[in-house]
Amino acid sequence: MPRQPNPSVDGTQRAVIEAVSPEIDGGLFPVKRSLGETVTVEADIFVDGHEVISAALLFRREQDKEWREAPMASLVNDRWRGVFGTNEIGRYVYTVTAWVDRFKSWRGDLAKRAEASTHTDLDMLSGAQLIEETSKRAGADATRLKDWAKSLRDKKQSLADKLTLALSDDLAALVEQYSDRTLATQYAKELVVVVDRERARFSSWYEMFPRSCAPAPGRHGTLKDCENMLSYVASMGFDVLYLPPIHPIGRTHRKGKNNVVISAAGDPGSPWAIGAEAGGHKSILPELGTLADFTSLVRKAQTLGIEVALDLAFQCSPDHPYVKEHPQWFRRRPDGSVQYAENPPKKYQDIYPLDFTSEHWRGLWQELLSVVQFWIDQGIRIFRVDNPHTKPLPFWQWLIDEIKKKNPEVIFLAEAFTRPKLMYRLAKLGFSQSYTYFTWRNTKPELTRYFTELTASEVREYFRPNLWPNTPDILNEYLQFGGRPAFMVRLVLAATLGASYGIYGPAFELLEDRPREPGSEEYLDSEKYEIKNWNRDKPDTLKEFIARVNRIRAENAALHGDHSLRFHAVDNEQIICYTKQSGDLGNIIAVVVNLDPHHVQSGWVKIPIETLQLDRTESYQAHDLLTGARFLWHGERNYVELNPQTAPAHILRIRRRMRREQDFDYFM
């Protein structure tokens, strides 16, 4: 006896949908977009035989019940593409549907027969039948469709007139509105896109220790002092002020200057050793001020277009209230003592890690969620998360999901200098932005390979890079030996390769380049362990250069995203060239950087003028936004020469030649 068809298979659904993109890990994780960005979806869609198929992209906000729809167009080799826009932050759902389109199949065959002069009235009767079936689904347009069907059946109409009617675009458009989808195939998965506000995509960060903001040496800075520094931060064009932990600092095993094990009287300790008698993660270090001082700082920053970002470091000093109140949240050694943090051979006796996987994990997780919510209630919407890769991944997925249910505008930056797969997994789990390996990518091949991976592979769908030339933990060798030009080079690279970047200041603009010892990336006299009194008015400060770069970023839409980044050939390995462009090509930026901070370098850059829609026969203007210089370029290959002591980089606005009158040209 023959086997019966599998009852779980609908044999009438003939369209096949495969290889949908973007689809992260089989749909396990969402892709990311920011408000106003589009989502381009592609899929392989085909059917047996020669019939024509139609396809549509279905999308909706996650909380909505009804699907919205965008058409999908056929590309090549059965690949289809559709696009939908995002106009609210939160989560969107999307999928693909496809069906055999009987009307398009009939219309296509009719056009072929007409070209061969083999069409007949029978073809018109077949079309009339399809149009009548469509009229039953058409509501207010039913009468119009019935009239069309009647005309195709009318024996008084000539075959030529019927053909014109049958192939009319108006008829095709109306039938398409009411196409028969009863046998449509819908992709088995509903995929998700998380839409963040624009600052998750485009932001300029400045890190500053409030305790070093006192106007005179020998005094502990306060939040009021930090508030007085906001105009300085705003003058450089930064829109995010990131504060290291502002909580009480433990005294037990407090580290001294340069991370020595035994502290001296007056040593303030590391802000990351959180917790003391004055409180824990929901408290403020008394020397800094009060919660009212903090909210005043947040409000004043907002008036200057700056958001305050807080450090989220889920670890405790031995003096943290949690240690006494919740000893079950910490791991014990065989002698009964609490296990302090280690990264052998390094020891951090001043920090106790939390035990996220003890049998009491649920209470701990809820408490840490309440910490984040507490600071949200104080006006914070951006968190820089310290070492998230050392905590369980399910914890972060749960916490971020819980926070974003009520506050979808919150941004989380992952400070995870770790293995690539772990960094990418954190991004997939929900982190809005991520630190990168940029700090250690200094040569042209290193930069080209790494940023091609970040912007031209699937990684771009979920990983938003935030580029930092320096941090309180990292003084890269390039900065140690490159002098002022090295700082300028790394700033330009960070600010133009990435739509989001940050610097640790004032160490960066004041050109701090002294390592603790040869071969170390730790700063000598690190601000992590002592209060600094920075001379922000030094004659050689980079603050004006930084302000110029940030102004260029703000004024050029091409630099507000990463997906358009493309690298271009230069016949000198010490010079790197790349472009970014706005979606409509109205704004094109070409960046040319001398990576050698010690010597003048020159070469010929090759700009793909066809890709940028530049006329090969016309000259075009390359306007250097850093110096104001204007160069008249021709064709693909143009000469550049960069002196690191004066101008180690060009940030060029490419302007097309436009013509108004016969004898008057201008550039756009």
Within-domain flag for 554: yes
Given a cut of 80, whether residue 326 has pLDDT beyond it is yes
Residues 162 and 191 occupy one common structural domain: no
Strand 307-312 with 240-243, pairing: parallel
- Confirm if 384 and 413 have CB atoms less than 8 A apart: yes
Within-domain flag for 462: yes
Residue-range definition of the domain harbouring residue 49:
16-101+184-195
Given a cut of 90, whether residue 536 has pLDDT beyond it is yes
Within-domain flag for 5: no
When pLDDT is averaged across residues 143-166 and rounded to a whole number, the result is: 92
Question: Which residues, in sequence order, are CB contacts of 4 under 8 Å at separation 6+?
Answer: none
- The residues annotated with a catalytic role in the active site are 386, 415
What is the phi-psi region of residue 231: left when phi exceeds 0, alpha when psi lies from -120 to 50, beta otherwise? Answer: alpha
Percentage of the chain exceeding pLDDT 70: 97
Q: Which of 365, 431, 427 is nearest to 404 (CA)?
A: 431
Residues 641 and 544 occupy one common structural domain: no
- Confirm if 468 and 505 have CB atoms less than 8 A apart: no
- Confirm if 431 and 469 have CB atoms less than 8 A apart: no
Task: Express each pLDDT in 94-107 by its tens digit.
Answer: 999 999 999 898 99
CATH of the domain at 140: 1.20.58.80
> What is the rounded average pLDDT for all residues in the chain?
95
Going by pLDDT thresholds of 50, 70 and 90, the confidence category of residue 11 is: low
Long-range Cβ contact pairs of 133-139 (< 8 A, separation 24 or more): 133/180, 134/103, 134/175, 134/178, 134/179, 134/180, 137/178, 137/180, 138/174, 138/177, 138/178
- Confirm if 175 and 145 have CB atoms less than 8 A apart: yes
Q: How many other β-carbons are positioned within 10 Å of the β-carbon of residue 14?
A: 18
Going by pLDDT thresholds of 50, 70 and 90, the confidence category of residue 4 is: low
Residues 493 and 620 occupy one common structural domain: no
As a residue count, the chain comes to 668
Residues 403 and 461 occupy one common structural domain: yes
When pLDDT is averaged across residues 499-516 and rounded to a whole number, the result is: 98
Percent of the chain as helix, strand, coil, to the nearest 5:
30, 25, 40
Residues 161 and 227 occupy one common structural domain: no
Residues 78 and 146 occupy one common structural domain: no
When pLDDT is averaged across residues 331-357 and rounded to a whole number, the result is: 91
Within-domain flag for 2: no
Within-domain flag for 8: no
Long-range Cβ contact pairs of 5-14 (< 8 A, separation 24 or more): 12/183, 13/183, 13/184, 13/185, 14/47, 14/48, 14/100, 14/183, 14/185
CATH of the domain at 535: 3.20.20.80
Given a cut of 90, whether residue 616 has pLDDT beyond it is no
Domain boundary among 510, 536, 560: 560
Residues 191 and 162 occupy one common structural domain: no
Within-domain flag for 337: yes
Within-domain flag for 1: no
Within-domain flag for 6: no
Residues 203 and 350 occupy one common structural domain: yes
**Structure confidence at residue 617 (pLDDT):** 85
- The domain tally of the chain equals 4
Residues 133 and 85 occupy one common structural domain: no
When pLDDT is averaged across residues 79-91 and rounded to a whole number, the result is: 97
Residues 189 and 217 occupy one common structural domain: no
**Structure confidence at residue 544 (pLDDT):** 98
Rounded CA-CA distance 652/642 in Å is: 13
Domain boundary among 530, 560, 590: 560
Residues 419 and 493 occupy one common structural domain: yes
When pLDDT is averaged across residues 281-303 and rounded to a whole number, the result is: 98
Domain boundary among 560, 586, 620: 560
Given a cut of 60, whether residue 417 has pLDDT beyond it is yes
Residues 527 and 453 occupy one common structural domain: yes
